[in-house]
Amino acid sequence: MFNRTTPPHIVTLILLAGISALSMNIFLPSLPGMTEYFHTDYRLMQLSVALYLAVNAVLQIFIGPFADKFGRRPILLVALVIFLLATLGTLLAPNAYAFLVFRMTQAVIVAGMVLSRAIVRDVHDQDSAASMIGYVTMGMALVPMISPAIGGVLDAAFGWHANFWGLFLLGALMLALVYFDLGETGKPRDISLLGQFKEYPQLLTSPRFWAYSLAAAAASGAFFAYLGGAPFVGNDIYGLPPETLGLYFSAPAIGYFVGNFVSGKFSVRVGINRMIFWGSVINSAGIAVSLLIHLAGAGTVMVFFGFMTAVGVGNGMVIPNATAGSLSVRPHLAGTASGLGGAIMIGGGAALSAIAGSLLSIETGAWPLLAIMLASALCAIVAILFVMLRERQLAR
């Protein structure tokens, strides 16, 4: 570590991806309390998830080409500085609307997630990249696994502001780590930024790129819908306090850790397409069982959150493999592909998160959220079956 003439240490990549995940979900157990603090309603505060994801998606469209043009290192350093300033803004916000503006600005930290994947692809081939991305995101899974629980404890002890002070401190430490350890792995290109964006059709006209990106988007869409609706389910339907909700909320991350381990261990041997297929099946099956139990009137807090581990396992198998597949369609556009693929994934997630938050009520219970999650998960199966069928046809 701490040698800028070599590719960054894997720990640096794990932490880069991890702080993006941390910023997304550490404060979720605090949403009900923040609603009271700003004297507003839950649907407005829930936009701190949906709008964050939407801006996150838009930024990824630009981060990729900028990183391909100027290199990974300078883009990451600038993004971290902006993130620190935006985090201070969330702490000083006088009302919910100002908070949402700074919260959306925090989304710039997605550069860590986008470029950690691109850096892996810079130095590894397709199957090895799937394995490495699996290991990186397996380590990253430790962060969302514990961050809602930590956020709930911090909220109970010090109030919701403590979560954002924690983000500021970790962002500052991450800035120092990137500065001293992250060497440039990309090869800055002579082509102009306009020329970079003109290369998007190379990706957008590729059926394989779309299929891999949509598989990742549909599988993760189930999780993003969960992000938008689970705080309401836990707090308003099942009456969980913030610290307990934080513990339950971590259920998908436990499964995600397992799924990432499976990806890291078996992607090279099994192949990315079959890993994506079986991950999508596991994702769909867990949600379907939970939905049937809730429709039968036997739903409980343990049933709802317990079956979310299957969502995590499925996503842990789908996302690193689908990401490696989309980045390998045009290897010279790895940064652009990472950003565009991430935008497709996060953009769909933002929509599903907002829909999930708007459809839930005490009267409906959890089943509308589960129905949205199941529909999204099933779409991932369709997307990867398209890839598998197309490759079988080309092999004839």
The string of pLDDT tens digits covering residues 23-82 is 877 887 888 888 888 888 877 887 787 788 788 878 877 887 788 778 888 899 999 999
CB contact set of 194 (below 8 Å; sequence gap of 6+): none
Q: Are 51 and 341 in contact (CB under 8 A)?
A: no
Instruction: Give the model's pLDDT for residue 108.
Output: 93
Task: Using the structure block, give the residue that is written with the tokens 């590719």.
Answer: 7
Q: Are 22 and 28 in contact (CB under 8 A)?
A: no
| Kind plus residue range of the DSSP H or E element containing 45 | helix 42-70
User: What digits encode the pLDDT tens for the residues 47-63?
Assistant: 787 788 788 878 877 88
- Distance of alpha carbon 30 from alpha carbon 156, whole angstroms: 9
Instruction: Give the model's pLDDT for residue 131.
Output: 63
Looking at residue 6, the DSSP 8-state letter turns out to be S
Average pLDDT over residues 2-8: 67
Q: Given pLDDT bands bounded at 50, 70 and 90, which one contains residue 335?
A: low
- Distance of alpha carbon 244 from alpha carbon 253, whole angstroms: 16
User: What digits encode the pLDDT tens for the residues 101-148?
Assistant: 999 999 999 888 878 877 876 766 655 666 666 666 666 656 766 777
Instruction: Give the model's pLDDT for residue 235.
Output: 81
Q: Are 202 and 312 in contact (CB under 8 A)?
A: no
Q: Which of 123-137, 195-209, 281-295, 376-390 is the most confident on average?
A: 281-295
Phi-psi region of 82 (alpha: psi -120 to 50; beta: other; left: phi over 0): alpha
Among candidates 62, 51, 58, which has minimal Cα distance to 24? 51
- Distance of alpha carbon 219 from alpha carbon 314, whole angstroms: 8
Average pLDDT over residues 276-301: 92
Taken in order of first residue, the domains within the chain and their CATH numbers are: 10-186+193-395 (1.20.1250.20)
- Distance of alpha carbon 56 from alpha carbon 48, whole angstroms: 12
What are the DSSP calls for 339-393, one per residue?
Answer: HHHHHHHHHHHHHHHHHHHHH--TTTTTHHHHHHHHHHHHHHHHHHHHHHHHHHH
User: What digits encode the pLDDT tens for the residues 352-393?
Assistant: 777 776 777 777 778 888 998 999 999 999 999 988 887 777
- Distance of alpha carbon 137 from alpha carbon 264, whole angstroms: 9
CB contact set of 226 (below 8 Å; sequence gap of 6+): 252, 308, 311, 356, 369, 373
- Distance of alpha carbon 300 from alpha carbon 202, whole angstroms: 48
